[in-house]
Chains A and B, each alone.
Chain A
Amino acid sequence: MGSVLENIDLSALLSPETLRSVGAVALRAAVGLVALRLVVMIVRRILRRRTTAQVSMLVTKAISYVGLAAIAAIVLLEFGVNLGPLLGAAGIVGLAVGVASQASLSNMISGLFLVSEKPFSVGDAIRAGDTLGIVESIDLLSVKIRTFDNLFVRVPNEKLASAELINITRYPVRRLDIKFVVPFETDIEALFEILGTIAKSDAACLQEPAPFMVPDTFVDHGVRIHFGVWFAKDDFIAVKTSIYSAVISRLREAGIRFAMPRRELHQPEHADLLAPGELTSRESE
């Protein structure tokens, strides 16, 4: 180490010519950086009006990286560094890094697919696996989601690209489905009239498409009713709250009760002669 330092000619390094050339290169690099920043700003402003936030982000980041690489190359050339061997070495290093970072590359490629396919945009509410929340950003490696209980979740792009994903807010209107069971003796027509009135009187429910009401299926203890109301996507909480409470209160007022699984135990006359556990049972409404 000592011999290396001894071989460096400090007087030559600190000579006015060297300092001048270093200053000139630094100035060019600074101008290049400012110009690059300006270009990125202009491109971002142009893309903001014409495309989505994630496309804008990807394009500007790509311009930034390419620009920085170009400035670095110019600086090295100014210092007389031969870029040929460097690029060769960079290729080998890149290969090694690529092999070592397959997951990152996979995420980047998946990110490109997500941007081109546009299954969701920034601001959409999505459900990806167990995660439900608002998309905060779509980046090169991952998607950032803010859950409704205000947690920050980072989901790798690769996972999102290969998983089933539900975009909750893609369409402007949605349907809220409620399923409940009423006893077999319930007057279904009267019930549907009540449900229709509930949907009609609720300010947040859309009057059209008409509410969906159908006897879904018979279950052991009654008839399962499927009741669906349409609403504008922003009104989800309001509709869910008002419809659930209205269904409970209006059905109670009309004397219609929800059927619950119930078990009747029948005790034979000489139950005292039976061994424990021999009581008969049957399910009923």
Chain B
Amino acid sequence: MENPHWGRLDRAASTWRLGSSRVWIRVRDDEWEVASTHVDDDQDPDAHTTTIDHTGPTDAPEEIVWTRFVTTLDDEVSTRPGLPDRPVVVRPASPMVLLPGRWGRFFFRVPLWTMLISNASGRELVMSEIPSKALKSIWFGSIAGGELCYAIEAPLERSVEDLEVDRSFAICEVTVRNSSRERLHFERICVHVEYMSLFDGGDRLWTNEVRVTFKGSEQVSQLSFLPGPPHSVSGAQRVAPSRLPPESDLIKRSFALIREITGI
């Protein structure tokens, strides 16, 4: 992995900063001790500084709780990026409208999680998962039949260049096609990131490309996860697998229609 932020950790103590998460790691014999916290984005100007420092966890708050992982003396612990463990709901500042028969390409950022991986037994064991940003929960869909997701307050950009380069986020490209005879007027879009892998495209990390086909407000939308990142990202290498086995076509209700939200 070319990215210096991910990979094998030395047995020396480390301090890890990704997004608003702060992680401290120290090693004692066959134990890896991990502590983490989140800083308030508004109060810390360096909230989104991504660094890894091997000078030692000297700045760990005294009251922080350390979790001790018992491994083996020759264990190798590494970090890799991961995606959230629940679907994410993107809430753009203003509602989007797609006219019948039209399609649009949208980009948004998904906060990454730091996955601490133990390789002691010859296979990857996830020791700890630390979100780079404290995400708020949101319920998507009807009260009885919806699902618990994370809310992402982020713009749905039309161009990836409009998204700030930040190693604590992955870029997700969603192509929405309105194949119905009605206007697609949505202000939420739910993306099942648990079916997605991560790809290193150089300066940014990418998820699988997603295609959503809207067939009408009375029908569920069809989601397709393409096997790799968007075609425009050349030479990207897969750096993290999906949490759940990828499904090429997934029928999920993807849009929260204005009608559903407002009752109009």
With A171-B144, A172-B148, A232-B148 known to touch, is A206 a contact of B134 (CB < 8 Å)?
no
Decide yes or no whether B66 CB sits under 8 A from chain A.
no
Report chain B residues within 8 Å CB of A203: 134, 136
Q: Is B139 an interface residue (CB 8 A)?
A: yes
Place the interface of chain A in its size category.
10 to 19
Q: Are B137 and A206 in contact (CB under 8 A)?
A: yes
By secondary structure, the A interface counts as loop
Of chain B, the residue at the smallest CB distance from A173 is B139
Query: B112-171: which have CB < 8 Å to A?
Result: 134, 136-140, 143-144, 146-148, 151
Q: How long is the Cα–Cα vector from A173 to B143 in the complex, in angstroms?
A: 7
Interface status of A230 (Cβ within 8 A of chain B): yes
Given A171-B143, A173-B143, A207-B148 contact (CB < 8 Å): no
Output the least CB separation between B1 and chain A (Å).
Answer: 32
What residues of A have a CB within 8 angstroms of the CB of B138 in the complex?
206-208
Within 8 A of B (CB), among A196-219: 200, 203-209
Q: From DSSP, what is the main secondary structure of chain B's interface residues?
A: strand
| Min CB gap A265→B, angstroms | 50
Cα distance A203–B40 when bound, in Å? 13
Cβ < 8 Å to B, chain A residues 146-198: 171-173
Q: List the A side residues contacting B136 at CB < 8 Å.
A: 200, 203, 205-207
Residues of A within 8 A of B144 (CB): 171
A173 to B136 alpha-carbon distance, docked (Å) = 15
Closest B residue by C-beta to A170: B144
Question: Chain A residues near B148 (CB, 8 Å)?
Answer: 172-173, 232
Q: Is the CB of A209 within 8 A of B134?
A: no
By CB atoms of chain B within 10 A, which of A171, A203, A208, A230 has the most?
A: A208
* Chain B nearest Cβ from A233, distance in angstroms: 10
Please report which residues of chain B, range 66-100, place their CB below 8 angstroms from some CB of chain A when the two chains form the complex.
89
Tell me whether B139 and A230 are in contact (CB under 8 A).
yes
Cα distance, A207 to B188, chains bound together (Å): 13
B146 proximity list for chain A (CB < 8 A) = 173
Contact across chains for B134 and A208 when beta carbons are under 8 A apart: no
Cβ-defined contact, B140 with A209, below 8 A: no
CA distance A222 to B144 in the complex (A): 35
Complex formed: what's the CA distance from A230 to B143 in Å? Answer: 10
* Contacting residues of chain A (217-256) with chain B, CB-CB under 8 angstroms: 230, 232
Contact A207 B151 (CB under 8 A): yes
A207 with B137: CB separation less than 8 A: yes
Pull 21 A–B residue pairs with CB atoms less than 8 Å apart, ordered by A: A171-B143, A173-B143, A173-B148, A203-B134, A203-B136, A205-B136, A205-B137, A206-B136, A206-B139, A207-B137, A207-B138, A207-B151, A208-B89, A208-B138, A208-B139, A208-B140, A208-B151, A209-B139, A209-B143, A230-B139, A232-B137
- Beyond A205-B137, A209-B143: 12 further Cβ-contacts under 8 Å? A171-B143, A171-B144, A173-B139, A173-B143, A173-B148, A203-B136, A207-B151, A208-B89, A208-B138, A208-B139, A230-B139, A232-B137
Which 7 A/B pairs are nearest by Cβ-Cβ distance? A207-B138, A208-B138, A207-B151, A207-B136, A206-B139, A173-B139, A206-B137
- The chain B residues found within 8 Å of chain A, CB to CB, are 89, 134, 136-140, 143-144, 146-148, 151
